[in-house]
Amino acid sequence: MDMSTPMGQGPKMKLVMVGNGMAGVRTLEELLKLAPELYDITVFGAEPHPNYNRILLSPVLAGEQTVDDIILNGADWYSENGIRLHLGQKVVRIDRAAREVETADGTRARYDRLLLATGSTPFILPVAGADLPGVVSFRDIADVDAMVDAAGRYKHAVVIGGGLLGLEAANGLMKRGMDVTVVHIGPWLMERQLDEPAARLLQRSLEEKGMKFLLQKHTAELVAGASGRVTGVRFKDGDAIPADLVVMAVGIRPNTELAESAGLHCNRGIVVNDTMQTFDPRIYSIGECVAHRGVAYGLVAPLFEQAKVCANHLAHYGIGRYQGSATSTKLKVTGVDLFSAGDFMGGEGTETILYSDPIGGVYKKLVIRDDKLVGGVMVGDTVDGAWYFSLLRDGKDIGALRDHLMFGQDHCGNLGHQGINRAAAMTDDMEVCGCNGICKGDIVKAIREKGLFTLEDVRKHTKASSSCGSCTGLVEQILAVTAGGDYSAAPKTKSMCGCTDHTHEAVRAAIREHRLLTIPQAMAFLEWRTPNGCASCRPALNYYLISTWPGEAEDDPQSRFINERAHANIQKDGSYSVIPRMWGGQTTPAELRRIAEVAEKYAVPSVKVTGGQRIDLLGVKKEDLPKIWADLDMPSGHAYGKALRTVKTCVGSEWCRFGTQDSTQMGIDLEKVFYKMWAPHKVKLAVSGCPRNCAEVAIKDVGVIGVDSGWEIYVGGNGGIKTEVAQFLVKVKTPDEVLEYSGAFLQLYREEARYLDRTVHYLERVGLDYVKKKVVDDAASRCALYERLLFALSVERDPWLERAQEGKLKHEFETISA
């Protein structure tokens, strides 16, 4: 069947595109802007789907989006632009002499210009059993369908490959209820994007969500069961693990088979020049199948740069040149923000600036050579990634910024702390959306020319924020700056996770109004989409249940993070950190002696004083934890928990010549009343005996300052990477009032904040005036809140830790930690 007859009136050049992915269709979009009537266009796609966003396969696997949600160009788009679309048809032959392509079913199409956008194919390990049923790759919608089907019928999944795709596959399968182990040949995860400390921080975060890892493991074979389906993975060291599903995510290879069969020059990809032409000048190629100057790119941004150049030449403009791309990676891997660019490993001739906050989940590393930023990697806080990348890409001299570079653009630019200032300060050529190669100027132009007022409008017209979503906040800021009073902010309420459409507030209301006491009850009543929830919603549900119905709701240990289950902070080397509680930072010789004896008995490698005035035993072995807690015979400092951590104090009027109030005793009283308190996130308190503020109350969730006439209470401070100063709540006269007002505020936060919101985030959402009405202005409301908190604390128990301190928990601990 010959498909060469033009559809339009009069002769047009014939453009045939082989491949229907993101890079190829982006080329057509650019071409249609430049020369909409130049070509009669025919597209062949091997998959049965129109162009879709391959980046978003992960949320489809996780059940957070559907296939329809990730379609970029539906069938209507092709017909509206006069494009013949052949889906499910693989081109198997190119006849360069006749200028014709042919598909497997014999369909043929002639071309004047041919665009090869054949993408890449997943690499399958050459091991025995690789072709067994139950072994899949993670590359297209068919792979996702196979994994979703397996997740509904089987339990154990093994993902081979600890890169981005492997981790996203593992996360999606976990959300589908599978028990997932990631096997990686390298010493750490995502070694192409992260250095070892960053990767260890990411691994710890994922382990807290239930993901398991086997690093530096070499797969020897995939084992088949009696049914012929895969049942396990065996390694070269002799170890084996069960596997009902094996996902190969070990890399991709440029798909050059068709080009090679046509005699085109290929070398680790289809070789192209700076105009994206192959050895045959009538044939162009772009995307993951291409090798340009010896480099094959797998990220979307370089491929879209190629698309612009290719469209420029197909449109006969002849002025575009693709000279390679400086690439950065800004991703959200299973809820963890990551950024890397350039030479982030460093080495001889470079200097490195580091910031590491393992407890807060933040790591930043900047690499400098000759007063220029040449690389960087960040985990947890990536807000300045685009700025760092622009410094790197443009080769700007950062000598004058050197001492302040780590603190980000706001600090270096003296722009204050408002994101809207950050957007306003960006130049038009600064990149906003790395996935789609969209600069600020592109967005501003679209907003002004097309009269855009919403984020969805901007996504539709520019594609900014439509891929991985990590630039969404910055796009909204640019929209707010440009549209001014016409800006329509996106609704701030969103569902808890992909398992449900309900918001945090709706879930809490249902638990309260319908007396739901267990996670299964809540999921059944609220019609959860997934049978077991996920690592995001289970801890939140567990907290909402126990905070709403203290003493009645079932506290599910398996729905807590690993640190709370182990009652210690897991460290990057797999050991643990144990911090016993010291009331208000005050201790005794007997306690110090006991801590020293425990440290010696269990050969604890490091004993450190913390910023919260406690003593930290670092490097504790997992198997020693129950015995250490029993020998310490001290309450837990809850340094691992979403709970009250510490109450920091100065020596106050008892010892200090400037002290106006007994801050130490006030801190002890606060801690002894509130120390069993679970919360949406960690909570830190401080008490200073005078306005000199030696206990740093201004950066605590609740800070108390002694003054001549009583006490001032401040709330909502945060001393993390983004410091937030606490706001004044009220001045009171007596210690009892300090307890009552502080407790009422904490209970309001416990009852209304979303899980994993700090007090500062809660205050940003509801406003300080709202809190004052509930806690300061309304005495009845304040008393009721405080009474509910005291009741919750009176019935709060920690049976696991009690048994650990009694030395009765070795077997249970090993079970939980496993």
One DSSP character per residue, 627-647 reads HHHHHH-S-B--TTSSBEEEE
Q: Which residues neighbour 365 within 8 Å (Cβ) at sequence distance 6 or greater?
A: 195, 197, 198, 344, 346, 352, 353, 354, 355, 376, 377, 378
| CA 127/CA 230 separation, integer angstroms | 13
- pLDDT at residue number 170: 93
Kindly state the tokens that stand for 309: 């150049």
| pLDDT single digits (tens) 248-288 | 999 899 999 999 999 999 999 999 999 999 999 999 999 99
SS (H, E, C) 47-90: CCCCEECHHHHHHHHCCCCCCHHHEEECHHHHHHCCCEEEECCC
| CA 346/CA 349 separation, integer angstroms | 8
The residues with which 159 forms a beta bridge, in sequence order, are 182, 247
- pLDDT at residue number 321: 92
List phi, psi (to 5°) of 544: -60, -35
| pLDDT single digits (tens) 487-507 | 555 544 467 877 888 889 999
Q: Quote the DSSP letter at residue 491.
A: P
- pLDDT at residue number 313: 95
Judged against a pLDDT cut of 50, whether residue 663 lies above it is answered with yes
- pLDDT at residue number 562: 65
- pLDDT at residue number 795: 84
- 710 pLDDT band, cuts 50/70/90, is very high
Q: Is 412 labelled as part of a ligand binding site?
A: no
- 62 pLDDT band, cuts 50/70/90, is confident
- pLDDT at residue number 810: 43
Give first-to-last CA distance, the chain, whole Å: 61
Q: What percent of the chain has pLDDT over 70?
A: 89
Q: Do the Cβ atoms of 267 and 293 come closer than 8 Å?
A: no
Q: Do the Cβ atoms of 729 and 772 come closer than 8 Å?
A: yes
Mean pLDDT of 734-757: 94
- 420 pLDDT band, cuts 50/70/90, is very low
Strands 51-52 and 39-45, how do they pair? unpaired
- pLDDT at residue number 4: 40
| pLDDT single digits (tens) 528-580 | 877 777 777 888 999 999 999 998 988 887 777 766 766 777 776 778 888 88
Judged against a pLDDT cut of 70, whether residue 722 lies above it is answered with no
Q: Which residues neighbour 781 within 8 Å (Cβ) at sequence distance 6 or greater?
A: 744, 773, 774, 775
> Which CATH class name applies to 135-250?
alpha beta
- pLDDT at residue number 8: 40
| CA 190/CA 199 separation, integer angstroms | 7
- pLDDT at residue number 545: 94
- 816 pLDDT band, cuts 50/70/90, is very low
Asked whether the CA dihedral 695, 698, 699, 704 is positive or negative, the reply is positive
Instruction: Give the type of residue at 369.
Output: R
Mean pLDDT of 336-360: 83
557/736: higher pLDDT: 736
The ranges assigned to domains in the chain are 13-120+254-314, 135-250, 328-486, 504-560, 642-797
Kindly state the tokens that stand for 295: 């480099």
| CA 205/CA 59 separation, integer angstroms | 19
Cβ neighbours of 503 (radius 10 Å): 16
Architecture of the CATH domain 328-486: 2-Layer Sandwich (3.30)
Q: Tally the C-alpha atoms within 13 A of residue 536's C-alpha that lie toward its C-beta.
A: 19
Which pairs count as long-range contacts for 691-694, CB under 8 Å and 24+ apart, including other chains? 692/658, 694/650
Mean pLDDT of 723-740: 93
Mean pLDDT of 95-121: 96
| pLDDT single digits (tens) 282-309 | 999 999 999 999 999 887 778 888 999 9
Judged against a pLDDT cut of 50, whether residue 674 lies above it is answered with yes
720/18: higher pLDDT: 18
- pLDDT at residue number 425: 67
- pLDDT at residue number 10: 52
Q: Is 310 labelled as part of a ligand binding site?
A: no
Tell me which CATH code domain 642-797 carries: 3.30.413.10
| pLDDT single digits (tens) 137-152 | 999 999 999 999 999 9
Q: Which single residue is written with the structure tokens 């400092």?
A: 637
Mean pLDDT of 608-619: 89
- Collapsing DSSP to helix, strand or coil, 275 comes out as coil
pTM of the prediction? 0.56
Q: Is 694 labelled as part of a ligand binding site?
A: yes
| pLDDT single digits (tens) 213-253 | 999 999 999 999 999 999 999 999 999 999 999 999 998 99
| CA 110/CA 91 separation, integer angstroms | 13
432/256: higher pLDDT: 256
- Superfamily of 13-120+254-314 according to CATH: FAD/NAD(P)-binding domain (3.50.50.60)
Mean pLDDT of 588-608: 92
- pLDDT at residue number 418: 39
Supply the mean pLDDT for the chain: 86
DSSP 504-561: HHHHHHHHHHTT--SHHHHHHHTT-SSSS--TTHHHHHHHHHHHHSTTTS---GGGS-
Q: Cα 316 to the chain's mean position, in Å? A: 42
- pLDDT at residue number 770: 92
| CA 62/CA 169 separation, integer angstroms | 8
- pLDDT at residue number 37: 93
Span of 22-26, 422-426, 693-697, 709-713 with lowest mean pLDDT: 422-426
Kindly state the tokens that stand for 434: 């790395």
- pLDDT at residue number 728: 94
User: CA of 73: how far to CAs of 15, 54, 79, in Å?
Assistant: 19, 13, 11
- Collapsing DSSP to helix, strand or coil, 270 comes out as strand
Judged against a pLDDT cut of 50, whether residue 814 lies above it is answered with no
Span of 25-29, 161-165, 183-187 with lowest mean pLDDT: 161-165
Q: Is the fold of 328-486 the same as that of 642-797?
A: no
Q: What share of the chain is helix, strand, coil (3-state, %, to 5)?
A: 35, 25, 40
| CA 756/CA 682 separation, integer angstroms | 8
Q: Is 783 labelled as part of a ligand binding site?
A: no
| CA 205/CA 561 separation, integer angstroms | 9
- pLDDT at residue number 112: 97
Q: Which residues neighbour 539 within 8 Å (Cβ) at sequence distance 6 or greater?
A: 559, 560, 561, 755
Q: Which residues neighbour 40 within 8 Å (Cβ) at sequence distance 6 or greater?
A: 6, 7, 8, 12, 13, 14, 15, 82
Span of 94-98, 137-141, 623-627, 664-668 with lowest mean pLDDT: 623-627
799/403: higher pLDDT: 403
Span of 494-498, 537-541, 597-601, 610-614 with lowest mean pLDDT: 494-498
